C-alpha cells in the first residue's frame, strides 16, 4: 500500500483565516490558501504584513497525532520533541532555570511585518499550523491572543514535491483537497 492516504491533523476550527484576523489589520502575504505544500528540506516561511503597526503573535506546529513540535537544545544537539496532553514532560526532569525547550517556529518581528520560519519538519506528512495574534496594546497587562489562522502544511519527501508542468496535470492536482 504505497499510496495510502495521509492522516489529517485534528482541527476543531475551520482551516484558513478566522474573523480575528481582520481585528489585527494584518494580512498573510505568501499563503493564499489554507493548504501549503512544502518540499525538499521541510522549510516554510510565513509572512504577515502589518501596515498599521506591530502585533503580538505566536505560532504553533502540530503533527497529525496532535503532538506539538518543540525543539530540545541540549548539549549542542537539536532534536524534535513531541508534546501532547496525554504524555507531558515530567516536572522533576529539569531545574526551573535550565529549560532547554525552545519553540519549533522561529520568529522575526519588525514594525511592518512578522515572519515565521518553520524549519526542518521531522518527517513527510500533514502538519497543522496555528497562528495567534492581536494588535499590540498601548497599556501593559494580561492579554488573550485569539486564533487568527489555522493552516495545513503538506510536507512531501525530497524529490516527491514536483510542480505540475502541463494543464492536464494541473487539473488532476487541483482536486486533491476538494471534499
CATH of the domain at 161: 2.60.40.10
- State residue 170 phi and psi, 5-degree precision: -65, -40
Number of domains in the chain: 1
**Structural domain of 141:** 16-69+106-173
Angle (CA) 77-101-140 rounded to 5° is 145
In a domain, 178, yes or no: no
pLDDT band at 2 (very low <50, low <70, confident <90, very high): low
pLDDT band at 1 (very low <50, low <70, confident <90, very high): very low
Model confidence at 123: pLDDT above 90:
no
Q: Do 150 and 128 touch, CB atoms closer than 8 A? A: yes
In a domain, 134, yes or no: yes
This prediction's pTM: 0.74
Q: Do 150 and 61 touch, CB atoms closer than 8 A? A: no
In a domain, 48, yes or no: yes
In a domain, 168, yes or no: yes
Model confidence at 178: pLDDT above 90:
no
Amino acid at each position: 500500500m504505497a499510496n495510502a492516504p495521509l492522516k489529517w491533523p485534528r482541527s476543531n476550527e475551520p482551516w484558513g483565516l478566522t474573523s480575528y484576523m481582520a481585528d489585527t489589520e494584518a494580512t498573510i502575504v505568501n499563503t493564499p490558501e489554507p493548504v501549503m505544500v512544502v518540499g525538499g528540506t521541510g522549510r516554510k516561511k510565513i509572512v504577515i504584513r502589518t501596515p498599521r503597526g506591530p502585533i503580538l503573535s505566536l505560532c504553533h506546529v502540530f503533527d497529525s497525532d496532535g503532538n506539538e513540535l518543540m525543539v530540545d537544545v541540549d548539549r549542542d544537539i537539536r532534536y524534535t520533541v513531541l508534546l501532547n496532553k496525554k504524555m507531558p514532560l515530567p516536572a522533576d526532569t529539569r531545574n526551573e532555570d535550565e529549560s532547554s525547550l525552545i519553540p519549533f517556529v522561529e520568529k522575526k518581528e519588525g514594525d511592518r511585518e512578522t515572519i515565521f520560519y518553520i524549519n526542518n519538519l521531522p518527517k513527510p506528512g500533514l502538519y497543522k499550523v496555528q497562528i495567534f495574534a492581536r494588535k499590540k496594546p498601548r497599556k501593559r497587562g494580561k492579554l488573550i491572543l485569539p486564533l487568527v489562522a489555522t493552516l495545513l502544511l503538506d510536507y512531501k519527501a525530497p524529490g516527491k514535491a514536483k510542480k505540475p508542468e502541463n494543464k492536464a496535470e494541473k487539473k488532476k492536482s487541483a482536486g486533491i483537497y476538494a471534499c
